[in-house]
Amino acid sequence: MKKYRTAILLFAIFEVVAVGLWLLSGNLFLLLNFSYIGICLGIGSALTAAGKSWARLFVQFTVGAYILVFLGLICHENMQIEGFWYYLLSGIVGAGTLHYFIAKIFGPLLFGRGWCGYACWTAMVLDLLPYKRHNGPRKCIGYIRYIVFALSLALVVVLFLLGKATPSVMFRLFIIGNIVYYVVGIALAVAFRDNRAFCKYICPVTVFLKPMSRFSLLRIHFDEEKCIRCGKCREVCPMDVEVDSNSRKKKNATECILCHNCTRACPVKALK
């Protein structure tokens, strides 16, 4: 039962959020939405704990595709960062704002970059590409994420100033934004032979995710006494994390997406 602690905790937290938001707002959709996500995360986490290598894929498609197709394309909620700025500047507390506060701004204190590993609909597709492990040093272009972040805010501010910040414009922006993300993400993955190049250098959401995830409660724990220094954990890490260290300041410490490739690869169970 102990190994399913995280699964139970994740489900319980999302259920508390779901019930709390429902009682506060009277909006049944919030209860159903967050309960569904909590159930998917709980099942995915339990499957991960049971050693199923496809567990993450299960969550990526049940949560990521749900957000993209149902919330985005069917319900017309702009779930991209421009949508967050739009709802924030409009003073609307909707699925878009709640999603950002829970999954990307405060949630990382609990589950770090779990969003990137399990729920992002862009990474859901990028992870299907063949470049699962990038060999070689990181490119020095991580600053691009800050430029994209600032441009996304500037774009929405300009739309407000021009009086064009309407739900239909934001919906079209959501479609265009996703197409751009997929095209750029796939092109970068092929160019750098690295599925996660978009996440490492371009994605503006990481500007929110990285600072909080440094203090994440959920993290990979390393047992130095068991380690035989084989280096297999670093070989399989898609985010170039210095896995064999417990320091919160280790190399790429804020990049871990909790995929558990390293824990599965370690021959002496020094990681958990």
Q: For residues 239, 242, 245 and 249, what is the CA-based torsion angle, rounded to 10 degrees?
A: -90
When the beta carbons of 102 and 253 are compared against ligand SF4, the nearer one is 253
Q: Which one of 37, 41, 148, 257 is in contact with ligand SF4 (CB under 6 A)?
A: 257
Alpha-carbon distances, residue 51 vs 24, 167, 222 (angstroms): 38, 43, 18
Report the nearest approach of ligand SF4 to the CB of residue 127 (Å): 12
Nearest approach, Cβ of 36 to ligand SF4 (angstroms)?
25
Nearest to 210 by CA among 149, 132, 158: 149
Regarding 266 and contact with ligand SF4 (CB under 6 A), the answer is yes
- Would you say the C-alpha torsion 22, 28, 34, 36 has a positive or negative sign? positive
Q: Distance (Å, rounded) from C-alpha 231 to C-alpha 234? A: 6
Name which of residues 192 to 221 contact ligand SF4 (CB under 6 A). 220
- Kindly tell me which of 89 and 227 has the beta carbon lying closer to ligand SF4: 227
Q: Determine, following the binding rule CB under 6 A, whether residue 51 of this chain makes contact with ligand SF4.
A: no
Tell me if 30 contacts ligand SF4 by CB under 6 A.
no
Residues whose CB falls within 8 Å of the CB of residue 146, separated by 6 or more in sequence, listed in order: 204, 207
Question: Within the chain, what is the greatest distance between any pair of CA atoms?
Answer: 62
CB proximity list for 66: less than 8 A, separation 6 or greater: 36, 37, 40
* Among 9-17, 96-104, 169-177, 258-266, the segment contacting ligand SF4 (CB under 6 A): 258-266
Establish if 228 lies at the interface with ligand SF4 (CB under 6 A): yes
- Judged by CB under 6 A, the residue of 189, 233, 253, 254 near ligand SF4 is 233
Residues contributing to the site for ligand SF4 (CB under 6 A) = 220, 222, 227-233, 236-239, 241, 243-244, 256-262, 265-266, 268, 270-271
